[in-house]
Structure 1
Amino acid sequence: MRTEMTRRTLIVSGATIGASALLGAPAASADVSTSGRGRREALVTPIAEVLDGGEQVTSVAISSPALHRAERSSLTSSTFAVHVTATNPLTGEVAYAQDRVVTGATWTRRGEIMLELEHGWGVDGGGTLQYMGAYGRNVLLDLDYAITQVEPLRGRGPGGAVVLDSFRQGRLSDPEVDAFAHHATASGLNYRLFSPKRRSGRRGAALVVWLHGGGEGGLRTGGFDYYDNEAQLRANRGALGFATPEAQDIFDGAYVLAPQATSAWMLDGDGFAPLILEAIEEVARSHRIDPSRIHVVGCSNGGYMSLKMVAEHPETFATSVPICCGIGARDGSDVYFISDDELAAMTTPTWLVHSADDTTLDAQANTVYAHKRIEGSIMSLYDNVTWDGITYPGHWSWIYVARNDPHHDGASVWEWMAAAKR
């Protein structure tokens, strides 16, 4: 992480002027809070959350032994200022650099300061990913959070004000994402795995396989060698939805497997299908998985790949949920292609989801077409993608599945999946 020169600390000819002097606090207060300067250093932890529009840093935590002396009531939303610089790790270019709006400041039970940051759809400066349009990939940004203590905190007991004299950034924290462990198959395919907390049934737990969209794969062209095992969880809530307490209750505990393509599933469906199956088999060998309750769900590229997996391995899956899928031009001219014969032969229970205003993969030519040919399939065709009053791009119908919105015959899509066995 780059060293920041801010109002916090000014170093001139080897002499250090602490933040207390810059804030105008009495000089005696500079050494009061603790013995040793290191105890006035603070650890800054950016905390992120995957929203419907992608992951954003929604708060930062500040921890330091010096804070134990601070009067809790002296903390306000203007005590600290927050600035972020986000750099693309592949190009070295600054994606954005700006102040973050602090909307609230509170104390945690552990005596940390939590600064809530403005976030949400349309809010700049919070995103953790940058979409590189020329390559169609999301890249996890290097985030540099610079904290400035604008106002001193009142101190308890002798010694005066509490002022932190330096800040050190820790790793990005996202509890939902961090709950998925990092793995790679013997063949080198990255995947993340969520393990349920509750005990599984006599035959083992269900396994939900989430296949990401095109933007979440690796990037190994254009002189890059980027394969991070991150973007498939951070770009949207597709995999995370199945790890929520609500979903875990419905499935009575389920593993969630999120493999990552080295490029994009649509570029080589034939090559990726056995690699995905290898990941499923490795997880099934290592954990108590009920082989009759393996489900495949995917969006966009992953929607195509979920159909491809069913076509290649019809005996494996209890259900298939292709979201805004592509099936290829009917003349077979696309690299990706699901034939009419393959669609007609599918017996795996299938629930297709799409939005009619999708301009990336046409709903009629893909989802509606497939629905007409997969016997007994269910289709949820929305007019647009609107959630919590926000209308998103029409391609983002994965939001509905991640929020368990599609319903049919009184059952939600998660309930339908959980009830199915192969």
Structure 2
Amino acid sequence: MKKLISFFIVLVLIFWGMAAVQAESHNYYNRVDKVFDWGTSTTKVIINLGETINNEMVDWNTFEVYVRRSDPRLEDSFLEEGQRKIEAAYVSDSKGEKLDSGEFLTLELEVGPGLSLDSALNYVSDQGGNNWIDVKYTISQLKDIETETGTLSGIEITELNKIFRPQIEKFVTGSSFYNDSINGEIDLTYAAYEPEVKDITKKSLIVWLHGGGEGGTDPTIPLAANKSVNFASEEIQDIYDGAYVLVPQTPTRWMHPGANEGDFEHLPPDSGENGRPYTSKYTKALMNLIDNYVKSNMGIDRDRIYVGGCSNGGFMTVRLGIDYPDYFAALYPVCHGMTYEYLTDEDINKLVDQNIWFVSAATDSVLPAPSFTIPLYDRLIKEGAQNVHLSYPKRVIDTSGKYVTENGKPYEYNGHWSWIYVYNNDLSNEINGKNTYLQNWLSNQELEE
């Protein structure tokens, strides 16, 4: 009898241990990343507690959140670690949507342009620019949670289950191959968005070309490092009554000079080697990608294709305007890197009749407007351009009202980041007697017969 009782106790202990291990395995977390003006930040961690709770059982200091950031591209991969500030806590589903009761708890975390612990990316200039990095969270319980079935205590969670990036997940990704007779075989990657509202009316195509820090082979980087995902936002899509969005990615930089750079006699001997090219090895490959995308999407209106880009992408926007003057309905180069002195009279003649909106900030020290944007704009106006415009803000500041300095002034970004105003449609000019915003202007441009 004693042996039977002992055996029963052993079985109970075994099953209890198995149940404990199983319960512990339920404690994982999901993560939500959001793209802001400054890049991508982790806004939420969502923990699975394995038991049903309600909002009265928890508050913002039930748990603490610690993060360690590292970049495997670096010899010393460690970047930083520290505690994230929790701003709210509530019961939710697995994606962070609020519920009255459930097994998931969402912890909303502080984010901001002046922070770094929140960033899901890291920029390394000699390692290809921006990239996703290793971000490891440790979520530790500070206060017991009294549930209907018992007490939850001592929980520590380090297992990541899934990352949600809702803005980026609207896009599909792909690649495009082109055999350039001068520059050889070229593979480009891209991200693309199709408008949700589809009818018999054909839609515009917005093409966006990233800056020098977003090259590579992961086409989510141009969406995440800046804010080009915003072209797929409801606010921007409403302006166009639905628009396709195409975000190509180069493996290096759009300002990678072509193999024929030295064939142009009007250029200085060091053009292309001084970081200021006239040509790009990717021009034909990029145009091949764009044109094939248009051909494969019959819902695109060929008379309403708009191309723009920032910095390196601004350079390529100008380059495409010169090489394919009859293809795009409008250009919107932002802090572009095309050297004005390299442009010929023939180049100017190809641009003068096009619809163009230039953007650059007065505080841009990377590609100063007086050396790049303004001379080209002034020349086109002098030559009689009828639909060429310029936005030249004094500086680049937060316009949301959410991010301010200690003295209450709007947070100021790097002066090179004037693309922020483009994504948010914050730029306007008086055109034909009306105050007109850039995206609204773009949406009304069409190729002339």
TM over 0.5, shorter chain: yes
User: What residue number does 1:247 align with?
Assistant: 236
- How large is the Cα RMSD of the aligned pairs? 2.3
* Aligned pair partner of 1:78 in 26, 49, 61: 61
Task: Indicate the residue corresponding to 2:332 in structure 1.
Answer: 321
* Uncovered stretches (5+) of structure 2, i.e. residues with no partner: 1-12, 93-97, 179-186, 258-278, 400-409
The structure with higher relative contact order (CA 8 Å, sep 6+) is: 1
Cα deviation, 1:104-158, whole Å, max 9, x if unaligned, reads 11122463211111110212301122111335611211211221122222111x3
DSSP 3-state at the match of 2:163: coil
- 1:194-220 CA distances to partner (integer Å, 9 max, x unpaired)? 111101443x211100000001112xx
- Determine if contact 2:136/2:158 at 8 Å carries over to the other structure: no
Instruction: Give 2:36's match in structure 1, choosing from 39, 51, 71.
Output: 51
Report what 2:176 is aligned to. 185
**C-alpha distance in structure 2 between counterparts of 1:279 and 1:38, whole Å:** 50
Classify 1:38/1:343 alpha carbon distance in 2 versus 1 (closer, same or farther; 3 Å): farther
1:172 offset after TM fit, Å? 2.8
**1:335 match:** none
Alpha-carbon spacing, 1:329–1:313, altered in 2? closer, same or farther (3 Å): closer
- Cα distance in 1 between the residues matched to 2:137 and 2:256: 37
Match of 1:406 in 2: 427
Mapped to 2, the partners of 1:365 and 1:351 lie a distance apart of 17
Query: Match for 1:59: what amino acid?
Result: K
Name 1:344's counterpart in structure 2.
349
TM-score (norm: length of structure 1): 0.83
Secondary structure of the 2:442 match is helix
How big is the shift at 1:39? 4.0
Structure 2 length-normalised TM: 0.78
In the TM superposition, structure 1's runs of 4+ consecutive aligned residues that sit over 4 Å from their partners are 162-167
Aligned to 1:289: 300
For each residue in 1:289-313, what CA deviation from the matched residue of structure 2 results, as whole angstroms up to 9, or x when unmatched? 1111111010011111111111111
The gaps in structure 1 that reach 5 residues or longer are 1-27, 219-226, 333-337
Counterpart contact for 2:145–2:151, Cα < 8 Å: no
Tell me the residue number matched to 2:220. Answer: 230
> How far 1:411 sits from its partner (Å)?
1.6
Candidates 226, 244, 264, aligned match of 2:253: 264
CA distance in 2, matches of 1:124, 1:167: 20
**Are 1:95 and 1:130, in contact at CA under 8 Å, matched by a contact in 2?**
no
Partners of 1:296 and 1:71 in 2: CA distance = 50
The structure with the largest alpha-carbon Rg is 2
Contact 1:80-1:151 within 8 A present in 2 as well: yes
Residue from 355, 358, 362 that aligns with 1:356: 362
Corresponding residue of 2:445: 420
Q: Is the 8 A contact 2:70 2:79 kept in 1?
A: yes
Instruction: Please point out which of 137, 140, 143 is paired with 1:145.
Output: 137
Task: For 2:419, give the aligned amino acid.
Answer: W
Q: Which residue of 1 aligns with 2:402?
A: none
Structure 1 window deviating more from structure 2 (145-154 vs 128-137): it is: 128-137
C-alpha distance in 2 between matches for 1:407 and 1:159: 60
The answer (yes or no) to whether the contact 1:71–1:153 under 8 Å persists in 2 is no
Quote the offset at 1:244 in angstroms.
1.0
Distance (Å, rounded) in 2 between the aligned partners of 1:343 and 1:58: 46
Spell out the pairing of 1:35-114 with structure 2 (5 A cutoff).
35=19, 37-40=21-24, 41-64=26-49, 66-68=50-52, 70-91=53-74, 93-108=77-92, 109=98, 111=102, 112-114=104-106
Shift of 1:38: 2.8
Alpha carbons of 1:31 and 1:308: their partners in 2 closer, same or farther (altered >3 Å)?
Answer: farther
User: Amino acid of the residue matched to residue 38 of structure 1?
Assistant: Q
2:392 to 381, 391, 394: 381
Aligned to 1:25: none
- 1:154 maps onto 2:146 in alignment: yes
**CA distance 1:42–1:230, shift in 2 (3 Å):** same
Percent of pairs with identical residues: 29
The CA distance in 1 between the partners of 2:334 and 2:344, in whole Å, is: 18
| 1:368 alignment partner, one of 364, 374, 377 | 374
Between the two proteins, the alignment pairs up a number of residues equal to: 374
